[in-house]
Structure 1
């Protein structure tokens, strides 16, 4: 018998201010894209092979989804996942 493979969690709590800001931006984008397509959270969960409570946690910004989960969501919604890295203001001391 093969041992069970451990899988990474699909979400993680947003604990720092930058993580909470990112979680909120993701939540807003996912909710907007989902509602524009007329999908319920349950329908999106089915399309991404996950459970509705996970979609709810993503949309409420209570947890940050993994990159894998974000890719599944973006594919199911027919949207492109884009990441932008920008230079910080030299006077900004936040992490």
Structure 2
């Protein structure tokens, strides 16, 4: 059985689909933050300084496993990067 077939069958299960959708959103957010930082030609450290945060806070935002980003933090990051939330 191919991986595509296994994934297609798994996606038919509502529980699996719900988990997949939740994980997909986390990965997309992390990816968009990473892309925006690169596009702005900034580093984690320079972005952190700009929003008066620690570099580790930016690192956590780039991790899809974090999942606790506040709206206020995301707004600060978006503003500093010239993006909209």
Q: Counterpart of 1:59?
A: 62
User: Which of the pair has more CA radius of gyration?
Assistant: 2
| Runs (5+) with no aligned partner, structure 2 | 1-17
Asked which structure has the greater RCO (Cα within 8 Å, sep 6+), the reply is 1
Report which of the two has the higher share of helix: 2
Aligned length: 66
**Equivalent residue, structure 1, for 2:38:** 35
1:49 equivalent in structure 2 = 52
The correspondence for 1:68, drawn from 50, 72, 83, is 72
**TM-score when normalising by structure 1:** 0.62
> TM-score, normalized by length of structure 2?
0.69
In structure 1, the gaps of 5 or more residues are 1-15, 82-95
Q: CA RMSD in A?
A: 1.6
